[in-house]
Structure 1
Amino acid sequence: MKRTNLSLLSQRRSGVLLHISSLPSSPDAHDFGVGDLGAEAYRFVDFLSRIGVSVWQTLPINMPHADNSPYQCLSAFAGNPDFISLERLQSQGLLNQKDLTGESISKADLIATAYEVFREQAKQVESLAEKEQLNFKKFCKKQARWLNDFALFLALRHKFNLAGWQYWPDGYKNRDVATLKQARKELAHEITIIQFTQFVFFTQWLALKAYAATKNVYLFGDIPIFVAYDSADVWAQPHFFKLDDYKNMEVVAGVPPDYFCATGQRWGNPHYNWDAMAADNFSWWVSRMATQNALFDIVRIDHFRGLQAAWEIPASEDTAINGQWVLAPGEALLAAIFKALPKICLVAEDLGIITPEVDALRHQYDLPGMKILQFAFSGQDDNPYLPHHIEASSVAYTGTHDNDTTLGWYNSLDDSQRGHVQAYIYSSRSEEHDVHMPADLINLVFESHAQLAIIPMQDILALDSSHRMNTPGTCSGNWHWRFNWQQLILAQEESITEVITRTARS
C-alpha cells in the first residue's frame, strides 16, 4: 500500500539554504568564527519572512570532528555546541559581560562557567531558576537513551587527549562494566557539564524553531545516512555495525567508480548490521528520526539510495573500486519510522545514478526527490534536471552546498555548455534579453513545478566561487563560509520577493 507523505509540501513553497555556521556574528558579540543561535539567527528568520520565504534549510547540526564537516560527527543525536549563543546565556544571568570580554577563553569554558552559575541557582528559592532546574532534569531523562552514553564518550575522549575510541585502553574501548562505572564516578562533573551543554543547545534551538513558526517559517534539516566510526553511536552500540571481533570495520561505505571519479569515493563510514537493527525493530533509527523530527519540520535523508542498497568496500581497500552493492531493508526501516512518527515529513536525496528499485522505494512512501538545475544543461533533451521535466513531488535547487555558486558555475562553463544554458533560457521567455546569472537560474527554479524551490544564500547575494561552501573530494578550505548583511542590497531582496509572488509560492 502506498503511503501518503503528510507534509508541509502540499503547497508551493520557497526556501533558502544557509547553515547555522554561515550566519554573521552579532555586532556586539565576541566572534568565535561560527554563526550561532543568537540575535542573527532571529534576524535571518525575519529576513525570510519579509521576502516571503517559508522554509529555512540547514546542513546537519550535529557535533563535527576537527574538520568541521557536518557529515562526519561525534554523535547522530548531539547538537553542535559551537552554535550555542553566549549572549542568550548572558540574558538568562548565567554569564556576565566580564565573562564575554575575555580574549583567550573558549566557548566550552564559558558554557562550563554558565553551568556553575546554573548549579548555584539551584540553591536559591526562585521560581524561574527552579523551573530551569526541573527542565534540565526532564531533558536528561527524556534524552537518556543517547545522552548518557554520549556524555561519557565525550568525557572519555577528553581524558584520552581526543583519541578515537578504538585507541582507548581495552576496558574503555570494550565497555567493561566495572571500568565504565568507575569512569562515570570519576568524570561525574565533566559528564554533567556535557549534559548541560546539550540541554542549552536543544533549548536554544527549539526557541528558534518556535519563533520561526510565529513567522510562518519552517526549519528543514539534513541527516547523513551513515555515521562516523569515531562516534558515540558506534562505541556505545557496536553490534549495530559491521565490525569484527576487535571492533574494527570489516567494510566501509562509499560509492562505486563513475564518470566523475575513476576510483569511486571511499567515505570510510561503517556499514549498518541491518539484521541486528531489524531484530531490535530499528529502535536506533526510530530514536534518531524522532530527535530530528522534534528539531525540524522537514528532514532530508542524505544518500537515500543507501536505504535500498549500499556500496560496501572491504576496509583493507584504499579505493572504492573493489566494492559491491549489498541490499538494505529500506522498506521495513521506513515502515518502522512512519509507524512511530506518522506525521514526519521526509525528503529523499536521490542525486546521481538511481535505480528503478530506489525510485520505487521513494514513491512507495511518497517522498519528494531532489533536482539540481546546475546538472540540467548537458544538451540531452531527456535530462531529468531540466526545469520542464521536474515533477511537483520534488525539491528543486539552483545548487546545493556541494555545488559551486551559480555565478561561479556559469563562469566556469565552456562555450558549448554555456550555449545550452542560454538556449534553454531564451526558449523559456516570451522575448529575448541578455542572460543574467544567477537571476535567470533562480527564476527557472521558482517557475518549475516543484512544490519546494530552494536557493542557497550565496545565489541570492550573487556571489562567485570564492564563497563556495564545500568542494567534494577536498580536505581543506570547506565549511567556513559566512555572509554579512552588507552583501545584501535592496535590489536583490526586491527581486527574490517579486519572483516568489509571481510564481505563487510562499
Structure 2
Amino acid sequence: MSITTQSGEQGALRSRQAGVLLHPTSLPGAWDCGDLGSEAFNFVNFLAAAGQKVWQILPLGPTHNDLSPYQSLSAYAGNPELISIEKLVEWGWLAAEQIKKPGKQKKPPLIAKAFAAIMHAEHGEVRNEFEVFVANNSEWLEDYALYRLLKNNHQGKGWFDWPTPLRDRSESALKEVRHNNAEALAEIRFEQFLFQRQWFELKHYANERGISIFGDVPIFVAYDSADVWAHRDGFALDADGRPTVVAGVPPDYFSETGQRWGNPHYDWAQMEQDGFSWWLERMRYQLKLFDLIRIDHFRGFEAYWEVPADEETAINGRWVKAPGDQLFDRLHEEFDPLPVIAEDLGIITEEVEALRLKYGLPGMKILQFAFDSGADNPYLPHNLQRNSVVYTGTHDNNTTLGWFDELSPELQAHIGYYLADQSESMPWLLIRAALASVSRLAIVPMQDLMALDASQRMNTPGTTEGNWGWRFQWSELKEGTAERLNELVIRYGR
C-alpha cells in the first residue's frame, strides 16, 4: 500500500485543472428537472469549449420530497427523475407519439411502457443486457427494489413505520412480497438499468472529451433508506429500529443552532469488526460511477457530532471519536490510489487535519470565506496549498454575486484592493482568483459563470424549503462565456 505523502505530489490531483459545479437536475429541459438527455451532452460540449477538465455534480440518488440529494433513498440507486425519456425514443424503446406533452406527463408510466417494449422478442439483446445488469447489481438492487415497492405500498411511510414483519425483514414476509409483486419489482430494477445505461453513456462521452466526472458521496445515509433497512446491524438503532442519537453539526457559519440532519450514526464497532465491508462495497460502486469523489463531511471520520434523537436542534450534542485511520487504511488497501477529495469545512481540529494529511487527501478552500479576518485566513489565495480544490463558492453558499452584494462597502473595497484588479467586477474577479491560485483544481459553480444573484442559489443550509430546484437556460448565459473561461484556463496553466 502506498499512501500519498503530506506534500501532495501524488494522489487525486496530479495536474492543474479547472471545472464547473452543476448538478444534472439544474440542466434545461421540458421535464420537471434536468436529466441525462441531450442537454447533458450539450453541457459537456460547453465544458470542452471552455477548456474545462472536470464536471462536478451532487449525489445522484433518488430523493425524498425535500429533493435533497444528501438524504437519498439509497446509497447506490440513481434518481429515476434523471432518466431521459427522449433517450428511450432514440433507442427505439418508446414511440415518439407516446410522449404527448413533454414535462406534463410523469416519467414512471413512460418507463413502464419501455419496460413492456423490451419484453418483446425483437428486443432480446436488450433483455439480456438487463438480466446481466440485475445479476451484477443484485447485492444492492434487490433490497432497493423491495424497499421502493413497500414504501409505495405503505403510502410513502418510512420502513420503521411498516408492519413489524416487513420492518424487521421477516424472510417469510419478504418471500410473499416477492411472489405477489414480481412484475412491479422487475420494473423498479429496469428503472435502475435505464439510469445506469444512460449515466455510463454520458460519462463515456465526457471522458472521451477529456472531462472527468467529480461525484459526491455523503458520509451518512438517510434514516429512511434501503441501506438502513437492509443493514440495521451497521447503524446505531434500538430493537425497534429507532435511533437514540442522530447526526448533525454544532453551531457554525451556516446556522446559530447547528444543523440537525437526523441521519442515524454508524455502529462503527460493528463495521470495524467485519473489515468495513459496507464501506468497501459502497466505494467500489461509486468509483465505477465517478472519476473523482468528494466525501461530504470528512471531519466525521475523525469525530462526529452526536445529537440526542429527541432534541429539536443540534446545539446539545457531543463529539464522539470515529475510526477514521482504520477505515482509510482499509480503503487504501482496496483502492490505491484513492481518488478522494475531503470536504473539510466547518470546525476542523488538528486531529482532523492530521487524518486528511496522513492519507494525502486534498481539502477544499472556499474564497467566499477568505476575507472576513486577517492575513492568516486559510482561505485567502496567498495561503492556499497545491493539494487542494479551490471554489468561489459551493452549492451550500450564496452565489458569488449575491455574497458580494450583501457585504459592507468597506469589506467590498478591501476585497477589491486585495485582488488588485479594477478592470473586472464580481463574480469574474473571484473566478480569476480561483483559476490563478496554486490549488491543483479550481471549481466554479455555473451560477457564477452566469453572474447570477442570491435568488439563484442552490441550497441554504439549515432550511428545508425552496432548495435544490435551481435550473438554468442557455439563453441566460452571456455570449462568449466559454471563450472567456478558456482564455483564463490557458493563461493560468489549467
Q: TM-score, length-normalised on structure 2?
A: 0.96
Q: 1:267 to 1:419 in 2, by over 3 A?
A: same
**1:194-273 residue pairs with structure 2 within 5 A?**
194-258=188-252, 261-273=255-267
> How far apart are 1:260 and its partner, in Å?
5.1
**Which of 20, 24, 31 is equivalent to 2:28?**
24
- Deviation of 1:386 (Å): 0.1
Which deviates the most, 480-489 or 5-14? 5-14
- Quote the residue 1:34 is aligned against: 33
Residue 374 of structure 1: CA displacement? 0.3
Counterpart-to-counterpart distance in 2, 1:88 and 1:280: 42
Q: 1:261 to 1:39 in 2, by over 3 A?
A: closer
Is 2:119 the counterpart of 1:119?
A: yes
- Could you tell me how far apart the structure 1 residues matched to 2:219 and 2:58 are? 13
SS in 2 for 1:151: helix
For residue 18 of structure 2, what is the aligned residue in structure 1? 14
What amino acid sits opposite 1:369 in the alignment?
Answer: G
After superposition, give the CA deviation of every residue in 1:250-309 in whole Å (9 maximum; x if it has no partner): 110011234653432211110000111112211111111111100110000000000111
CA distance in structure 1 between the aligned counterparts of 2:255 and 2:441, rounded to whole angstroms: 31
Match of 2:148 in 1: 154
Q: Which amino acid aligns with 2:404?
A: Y
The Cα offsets for residues 112-135 of structure 1, whole Å up to 9 and x where unpaired, read as 110000111xx34xxxx3332222
Aligned with 1:415 (options 406, 409, 425): 409
Task: State the partner residue of 1:484.
Answer: 473
Which of 228-237 and 89-98 deviates more?
89-98
- On the 8 A contact 1:378/1:420 being kept in 2, the answer is no
| Residues in 2 aligned to 1:115 and 1:143: alpha-carbon distance in whole angstroms | 18
- Indicate yes or no: 2:440 matched with 1:446: no
8 Å contact 1:405–1:464 — kept in the other structure? yes
Gaps of 5+ in 2: none
- SS of the aligned residue for 2:175 comes to helix
Please give the alpha-carbon distance, in whole angstroms, between the structure 2 residues aligned to 1:358 and 1:379: 22
Bigger drift between 102-111 and 80-89 goes to 102-111
Identity of aligned residues (%): 49
1:323 lines up with 2:317 in the alignment: yes
Aligned counterpart, 1:179: 173
TM-superposed deviation, 1:343: 3.6
Counterpart position of 1:457 = 446
CA distance in 2, matches of 1:194, 1:180: 16
Tell me by how many angstroms 1:434 deviates.
5.0
Deviation for aligned residue 1:435 = 5.1
In the TM superposition, what is the alpha-carbon distance from 1:337 to its structure 2 partner? Answer: 1.8
Counterpart of 1:143 (choices 120, 124, 137) is 137
1:88 paired to 2:87: yes
By relative contact order (CA 8 Å, sep 6+), the higher-ranking structure is 2
Report the counterpart of residue 344 of structure 2 in structure 1. Answer: 350
Instruction: Tell me: CA distance 1:38–1:66, structure 2 relative to 1, closer, same or farther (3 Å).
Output: same
Please give the alpha-carbon distance, in whole angstroms, between the structure 2 residues aligned to 1:382 and 1:2: 33
Q: What CA RMSD, in Å, does the superposition of the two structures yield over aligned residues?
A: 1.5
How much does 1:410 deviate?
0.6
Matched with 2:278 is: 284
Size of the aligned set, in residue pairs, is 489
- Cα distance, 1:379 vs structure 2: 3.3
CA distance in 1, matches of 2:253, 2:90: 53
Structure 2 distance, partners of 1:140, 1:2, is: 35
Instruction: Tell me the distance in 2 between the aligned counterparts of 1:405 and 1:202.
Output: 31
Q: 412-421 or 111-120: which moved more?
A: 412-421
Shift of 1:420: 2.3
Letter in 1 for 2:365: K
Residue 447 of structure 1, CA deviation: 0.5
Structure 2 CA distance for aligned equivalents of residues 12 and 382 of structure 1: 24
The residue matched to 1:332 in structure 2 has which SS? helix
Q: Could you tell me how far apart the structure 2 residues matched to 1:202 and 1:271 are?
A: 29
TM-score, scaled to structure 1: 0.94
Counterpart AA for 1:114: A
What is the alpha-carbon distance in structure 2 between the residues aligned to residue 435 and residue 208 of structure 1?
Answer: 35
Distance 1:166 1:407, change over 3 A: same
Segments of 5+ residues of structure 1 without an aligned counterpart are 26-30
